[in-house]
Amino acid sequence: MISKRASKFTSFIVMDIMAKTEELERKGEHVVHLEVGEPDFPTPKVITKTAIQALHDNKIRYTHALGLLELRQAICDFYLKEYGVNITPDQILVSTGTSPALLFAMLAILDQGDEVIISNPRYPCYQNFILAAGGKIKEVQTYPEDGFQYRPKDIKKNLSARTKTILINSPSNPTGIVMSKEQLQNVAQFDKQYIISDEIYHGLVYKDRAHSILEFTDKAFVINGFSKLYAMTGWRLGYCIFPKQFSQVMQRIHQNFMISANGFIQWAGIAALTKAQKDVDKMVKIYDKRRQYMLARLKDMGFVIHVEPTGAFYVFADARRFCKDSYKEAFSITEKAKVGVSPGIDFGSGGEGFLRFSYANSLENIKEGLNRLERYLNK
Ligand code: PMP
């Protein structure tokens, strides 16, 4: 028998869309992928070379359960340089991606039945991390005209004696919206327990800059990683920054469940943080060109963009003029126009009527995909 807990885990609808695109491609059809949230760039050479050298140097053993001290120090230096915040290596857990780091943070914070505030819409995996750690989801509705950011009064309404943490994600998947300093301050005022801030899209910002929650409170868990900024999704490397008193428990959790992250990949992580800025700058420039192009075309076609997305690589477009059922519409566009898109409903009921377009694809492919979409809509 499958456990009650496991049977509650939800799946990514975008995976069903990807299965459909695979089926079409097997039949010889050409599909443009605007559904995938994964950089299309190769990993910068300086990072790959470092990993290969580390293998040659036999850096193939377990590391400290919290991660290589050199990498944790590099993360401290990075947060000091970028955000002016002081953290120490004993406040960092390096794991095999941001995803396990988030699961371990939930395990460290939550008791059975504790509540976690998440926005609706949001990244669809969040609810499953909470369930896995025995927590309860408390959804707070957010609105298109606010760029789907929390209204403080709505957070307040949903707080209870069981609220353990509030989850934020900026720049956001699926909306691409970057929280302002004021919006972060507004959330930080609710740090009676802890704020969990998913900062995985930091660095992929095209106007102003992103602020870390650590600039406003130290009662926070920050989740960050290498997948997006350094085009390293398949390498599996991420980390969690936590308040000092969690050091021992995070170490114990990781010792038991992972032992450590991959040694040679952690050396590559140091190269990413210290030697890859030029490569990142190039990628950011290209993403921004694609972003501007995609926004202009989608608006032209009649999609509504309530607040300009200035981060990550997504546009969450209001398609209510064209459709009520985003699930059906995303499949129809995929099958008929041969363009993969993500349905808004994948991100929660608050995303219904929206479609998420990813610009992690070449400008040429984006143009072709949007041409096809335009022809489809004109029919
Ligand atoms: N958070 C968000 C918002 C994401 O979009 C993703 C990847 N899609 C992750 C976390 C997980 O990233 P990873 O495990 O590759 O570090």
User: pLDDT tens per residue, the chain (379 residues)?
Assistant: 999 999 999 888 888 899 999 999 999 999 999 998 999 999 999 999 999 999 999 999 999 999 999 999 999 999 999 999 999 999 999 999 999 999 999 999 999 999 999 999 999 999 999 999 999 999 999 999 999 999 999 999 999 999 999 999 999 999 999 999 999 999 999 977 899 999 999 999 999 899 999 999 999 999 999 999 999 999 999 999 999 999 999 999 999 999 999 999 999 999 999 999 999 999 999 999 999 999 999 999 999 999 999 999 999 999 999 988 999 999 999 999 999 999 999 999 999 999 999 999 999 999 999 999 999 999 8
Find out whether the beta carbon of 373 lies less than 6 Å from any atom of ligand 1.
no
Distance 374 CA to ligand 1 centre (A): 30
Q: How far apart are CA 176 and CA 239, in angstroms?
A: 21
- Helix ranges (DSSP H) in the chain: 4-7, 13-26, 45-56, 69-83, 98-109, 126-132, 152-158, 181-188, 247-257, 263-275, 277-301, 326-332, 363-378
Distance 99 CA to ligand 1 centre (A): 6
Domain boundaries, the chain: 4-42+278-378, 45-276
Find out whether the beta carbon of 225 lies less than 6 Å from any atom of ligand 1.
yes
Q: Whose CA is nearest to atom 8 of ligand 1?
A: 37
Residue 225 CA: nearest ligand 1 atom is 16
Question: What amino acid is encoded at 325 in this protein?
Answer: D
Q: Whose CA is nearest to atom 5 of ligand 1?
A: 173
| Centroid of chain to Cα 8 | 22
How far is the CA of 3 from the CAs of 8, 9, 154, 208, in angstroms?
A: 9, 10, 33, 47
- Cβ pair 278, 292 in contact under 8 A: no
Distance 344 CA to ligand 1 centre (A): 17
Find out whether the beta carbon of 196 lies less than 6 Å from any atom of ligand 1.
no
Q: Which CATH number fits domain 45-276: 3.30.565.10, 3.40.50.300, 3.40.640.10, 3.90.25.10?
A: 3.40.640.10
- Span 4-42+278-378: which CATH code? 3.90.1150.10
CA-wise closest residue to 64 among 266, 269, 225, 268: 266
Find out whether the beta carbon of 200 lies less than 6 Å from any atom of ligand 1.
yes
pTM: 0.97
